[in-house]
Amino acid sequence: MNQSKSQRLFAEAQKYIPGGVNSPVRSFRAVGGTPPFLARGKGSRVWDVDGNEYIDFLSSWGPLVLGHAHSKVVEALKKAAEVGTSFGAPVELEVELARLICQAIPSIEKVRLVNSGTEACMSALRLARAFTGRSKIIKFSGCYHGHADGLLVKAGSGAMTHGIPTSAGVPDSYARETLVADYNDLTSVEQLFESHPGDIAAVIVEPVAGNMGVVPPAEGFLAGLSRITAESGALLILDEVITGFRVAPGGAQELFDLTPDITCLGKIIGGGLPVGAYGGRAEIMEMVAPLGPMYQAGTLSGNPLAVTAGLATLRELQQPGTYERLEALGQRLAHGLTQAFKQAQVPSTINRVGSMLTGFFTGGPVDSLAGVERADAAQYGRYFHAMLERGVYFAPSQFEAAFVSLAHTDEDIDRTVEKAAEALSGLG
Active site residue 144: yes
Give CA–CA dist 153/394, Å, rounded. Answer: 26
**List 239, 261, 367, 412, catalytic entry:** 239
Asked if residue 42 lies in contact with residue 69, where contact means CB atoms within 8 angstroms, the answer is yes
As measured in angstroms, the least distance from the Cβ of 26 to ligand PLP is 12
Name the minimum Å distance from CB 250 to ligand PLP: 17
Q: What DSSP assignment string belongs to 38-86?
A: EEEEEBTEEEETT--EEEESSGGGTT-TT-BT-HHHHHHHHHHHHT-S-
Residues forming beta bridges with residue 278, ordered by sequence position: 112, 264
CA 268, 142, 361, 23 dihedral sign is: positive
Pick 56 or 239: Cβ nearer ligand PLP: 239
We find the least distance from the C-beta atom of residue 426 to ligand PLP, in angstroms, to be: 32
Helix/strand/coil (H/E/C) assignment for every residue in 323-368: HHHHHHHHHHHHHHHHHHHHHHCCCCEEEEECCEEEEECCCCCCCC
Coil vs helix vs strand at 398: coil
We find the least distance from the C-beta atom of residue 372 to ligand PLP, in angstroms, to be 15
Name which of 116 and 416 has its Cβ closer to ligand PLP.
116
C-alpha pair distances (Å), 207 with each of 69, 92, 359: 29, 31, 19
Determine the Cα–Cα distance for residues 33 and 10; give it in Å rounded to an integer.
Answer: 11
Interacting residues with ligand PLP (CB under 6 A): 116-118, 121, 144-146, 206, 210-211, 239, 241-242, 266, 276
How near is the Cβ of 92 to ligand PLP at its closest, in Å?
25
Residue 158's alpha-carbon distances to 224, 240, 246, 372, in angstroms, are 29, 18, 22, 15
Q: How far apart are CA 262 and CA 295, in angstroms?
A: 16
Closest CB 16 distance from ligand PLP, rounded Å? 22
267 noted as active-site residue: yes
Closest approach, Cβ 109 to ligand PLP, in A, equals 22
Which residue number, 153 or 413, has a Cβ lying nearer to ligand PLP?
153
**Whole-angstrom distance, CA of residue 221 vs CA of residue 280:** 21
In 216-330 the beta strands, taken as DSSP E runs, fall at 235-239, 262-265, 276-280
Q: Smaller CB distance to ligand PLP: residue 242 or 406?
A: 242
Point out the catalytic residue in the list 54, 144, 183, 393.
144
Instruction: Answer for the pair 166, 175: CB distance below 8 angstroms, yes or no.
Output: yes
- Selecting among 267, 278, 380, 412, the annotated active-site residue is 267
Which lies closer to ligand PLP via its Cβ, residue 272 or residue 276? Answer: 276
Respond yes or no: is residue 185 known to be catalytic: no
Do 392 and 57 contact (CB within 8 A), yes or no?
yes
CA-to-CA distance for 195 and 160, rounded, in angstroms?
27
In the complex with ligand PLP, which residue's Cβ is closer, 49 or 300?
Answer: 300
Q: What residues are labeled active site? A: 144, 239, 267
